[in-house]
Amino acid sequence: MTIGFRTIKTAVGVSIAILIAQSLHLSSYTSAGILALLCIQKTRKQSFTAVWERLLACLAGMAMSGFMFHFFGRHPLIFILLYMLFIPVCVRFKIQGGIASSSVIIMHIYMNGALNTSFVLNELAIIAIGLGVALIVNLYMPGIDKQISQYKEEIHANMSAILGQFAKYLVEGYGLWDGKELLTLAKLLDKGKNLAILEVENNMMRKDNPFLYYFEQKQRQYQILERMLTLVSMLDTTLEQGVRIGRLIDELGRDLQAGQDLASYHEKLRAIREYHKQLPLPVTRAEFENRANLFSLANELEKFIETM
């Protein structure tokens, strides 16, 4: 069993909120812990949103329940009318995330029987402590640099393996490949991008995020690789032009995994294109179709290099 960092923050936040509320001799002080529990989220942005929603919902719940209990009395069936009005109001103002939290305060009002100054101050203090502690605890978020670096290594390794399979087919004319690297790459990109989005929400003041840009760029490369796979699979014979492109792809894959500078590949691909222009025109329909697919493959390879 693994205890996550959010679990630890939740446990600490609940304990601190109750400790503060109890030390201030507030009535129903454990409710501060409940409010803190409901506000601790995955990211700072989500936490700020949760606190704002719950604060507004708690204030609205206090006002509506106090009014209804005062004029219609304290009876369990009053909750039917109260929530039939209260929930649509929360939804209308997009604070429905605070319905559960505000219900804690509503139940306090129901049990207290009357709204007076000391009671209202007690409830406001509970709200402030619970939401405030949750907000403070959630300000600390662990760094993700190590996880991002691990994802990058795995992504480069899988891309290199995919390019290697393309090269093998182009050079040798056959290859037994189950495509598992392509599936693995898709999963790595999704996980990495989700992690980068969390980083964006934890750094709301930053206008750009290099991690998110990196994974979006790699997703574009993944789409190019999918198109390249389709074109490679359409080749039914080994051509000298294909061998040249295959060797370039193999070299590109090796340098990609090794972290080498890939700027020179623009010129290398251009040289291959110039060589192809000097070749005689295709004679048969099959040769024409294979040459056309190689031309399209070179276009996709150029796009791939441009996104590196």
pLDDT, tens digit, 9 for 90 and up, residues 129-143: 999 999 999 888 777
Token digits of residue 135: 């907000």
213-264 confidence digits (pLDDT tens): 899 999 999 999 999 999 888 887 777 788 888 898 999 989 888 888 788 8
User: Which tens digit of pLDDT belongs to each residue from 104-121?
Assistant: 999 999 998 777 889 999
Q: Give pLDDT tens digits for 61-76.
A: 999 999 999 888 888 8
Give pLDDT, residue 207.
66
The tens digit of pLDDT for each residue in 15-24 reads: 999 999 999 9
Query: At 206, is the pLDDT very low, low, confident or very high (cuts 50, 70, 90)?
Result: low
Q: Determine the pLDDT at residue 282.
A: 67
Report the topology of domain 145-306: Four Helix Bundle (Hemerythrin (Met), subunit A) (1.20.120)
Sign, Cα dihedral of 24, 30, 35, 36: positive
Q: What percent of the chain has pLDDT over 70?
A: 96
pTM of the predicted structure, to 2 decimals: 0.72
pLDDT at 204: 67
The domain locations on the chain are: 5-137, 145-306
Q: And the tokens for 286?
A: 């099959």
Please state the rounded mean pLDDT for residues 261-286: 79
Distance CA 123, CA 29 (A): 9
What secondary structure, in 3-state letters, does 235-287 show?
CCCCCHHHHHHHHHHHHHHHHHHHCCCCCCHHHHHHHHHHHHHCCCCCCCHHH
